[in-house]
Structure formats: C-alpha cells, structure tokens
Amino acid sequence: MPMSPSTRPAPLTPVFYHPAQHASHDFISIQKIPAFIAQSGRDPIGFEPFTDDDFAVAHDPEFVANVFGLRTRNGFGTMDENLNHALRYSSASLWAAVSHVLEANRGGYQGASGIACSATQGFHHSGYTFAGGYCTFNGLIIAARKALAGYPDLGRVLIIDGDGHYGNGTDDIIQHLKLRDTIINVTRPEIGKGGNGGPHSRFSQADWEGWTRDLIETHDPGLVIYQSGGDAWDLDPLGSGYLSKEALGHRDRGVFGAAQSAGVPLVWNLAGGYAKPMQLTIDLHLQTLRISDEALATVVG
C-alpha cells in the first residue's frame, strides 16, 4: 500500500563522500569533512577515484603528472603522496554528485533528485598550471566540462561561487581554455558585493532568490554548481566574510529556491570555512544541509 504524503519520509539530500578523501593533514578544511559526515544524519554515497586523464580535462597534463610525481607542490604547499591520493577522491566527489543529478534529470525532473551535495572543500584557487590556497585541482571546471561533454543538451553550466574569496583559478582555466560561452563563473566581488556592510550583506532570502533567478534567466544553464562557502561568515578568522549566520541561511535558501523553481539541477559543496572551534564551521555547513533538505521537501511535498 503506497504511503500518503503525510507518512512519506522527508527526502534527504544525497551526500557524496569517500573515506579516502580524508588525508593525514591537520588543516581544518580537511578535518571538518569527516566530522560533517558524522553529523549529517545520513550514509554518504561512494564513487571511484579520478585518473590523471580526468584531471587533464581542466589542467595541463604535465602539471598533473608533476603533482602526482612529487615534482610540484600541491595546493597545501607539500609534496605528500598520502594527501595527493586523497585529491583523486575530492574532485571525483563533485563529479559523482553532478552525474547523479544529471542522470536523474535525464529521465524527467523529480525534485528529490534535482539537488545533491559533494562533501568537499574549495577548488577555485587552482588554475590551468598552478595550485595554491589549499586548492590543487579545480574540481569545479572538471565537473562542468565532463557534464557538458556527457550531456550536450545542458548548453551551459553556471558556477555560483559563494566562497569568501575570489575564484582566481577558475577564471584562469576558463580564460586559458576559452570556456566563457559554456561555463559562467560568478565569484567575488560579483557575489558578496560591497563586502561586510555592502548591499549583499543586507540581502533577504527574497533578494538572493531574485539575484539567482536573474542569473539563471540570463545564462539559461542546464546545471548549477554552488560553492556554499562557510568562510563567507562574518566571523570567519580569515576576514573575508560578510554575512551573519542567519544571512548565510537567507543566501542558501535563495539560491536553492531559485534553482528548484527553474527546474535546474544543482550540486553544492562545502568550500571554505575556517572558524575554530571547528564545530562553529561544521554548524554552518550543517545549516546549509538542512536548508537543502527543506528545498527538496518543498518540491516533493
């Protein structure tokens, strides 16, 4: 006997994570991810790691070979084989989440399949031939290019980079590979305009939803990749934040709501967030996860 809407379990955002993502490094952006998974209230979905060829979708193959050959430092400033192995899973997590929502969308948009989470930190400081800022490979561009190749009807991919910092690496790859017609990167200062005290810091949920809707109407993407970015919090110690915790919730609800209303699949990741005690940062990411679940429940219910 089918369950009535009132008895059907609320949908949970699928979260893509593999334990091999966790490297032996004490940086908070690595340590927060398994803690987030442990508190997420759901079993993560696994996937296969990337090969060198997958990374070459967005990077100079020689750069890729040099990183894994321990001839070039990774984004953490080390030549650490254990950490580099974990990188094969980090970028693969984002692509696994993207392929999940696109496969679901291929058979007809089903709401609960239209959004997914990749439990990964940021990628956006990694350029075509360089690593930096704790980013070695640009999983955003890799996932976007693989999506466009595998699903030609997408047309465009919209990256909404809510991380507290400018996504210089993403822009570098887009420029180097001449991708501006198919991959749109919205990053600081276009998002977060004016910084702390600026207009975006005062946005309501409706404002963020309208802002995102305008982007979707302008660029007509078949996929949105959203870096939620806990370091946009105004108490983040790196000083790039401009939103209170409540305002981060307004932003997340607005972005999710606009994508769901437009029927555009969306994948989000944790990206930055460095506040300590670490639980402060994890709580920001768990807030985004709850809002993601709410967006699914609104559509499915």
Q: What global pTM score does this model have?
A: 0.94
Q: State residue 197's pLDDT score.
A: 86
- Report whether 286 contacts 248 (CB < 8 A): no
Query: What residue spans define the domains of the chain?
Result: 15-300
Distance between CA 119 and CA 290 in Å, rounded? Answer: 14
Mean pLDDT of all residues in 1-9: 56
Please, what is the average pLDDT of the chain?
93
pLDDT value of residue 300: 59
pLDDT of 1 over the 60 cut: no
Q: Which residue has the tokens 């595998």?
A: 150
Question: Cα–Cα–Cα angle for 224, 226, 227, nearest 5°?
Answer: 155
Amino acid type, 114: G
Query: Is the Cβ–Cβ distance between 75 and 84 less than 8 Å?
Result: no
Higher-confidence residue of 249 and 114: namely 249
Torsion sign over Cα 216, 218, 219, 225: negative
Q: Which of 113, 101, 14, 31 is nearest to 279 (CA)?
A: 31
| Architecture label for domain 15-300 | 3-Layer(aba) Sandwich (3.40)
Provide the pLDDT confidence category of residue 186 given band limits of 50, 70 and 90. very high
Q: Cα(213)–Cα(191) distance, rounded to whole angstroms?
A: 14
Question: Quick check: 109 pLDDT over 90?
Answer: no
- Per the CB < 8 A criterion, the answer to whether 256 and 266 are in contact is yes
Please write the tens of the pLDDT for every residue from 250-276: 999 999 999 999 999 999 999 999 999
Q: 123 to each of 143, 226, 250, 288, how far by Cα in Å?
A: 11, 12, 24, 19
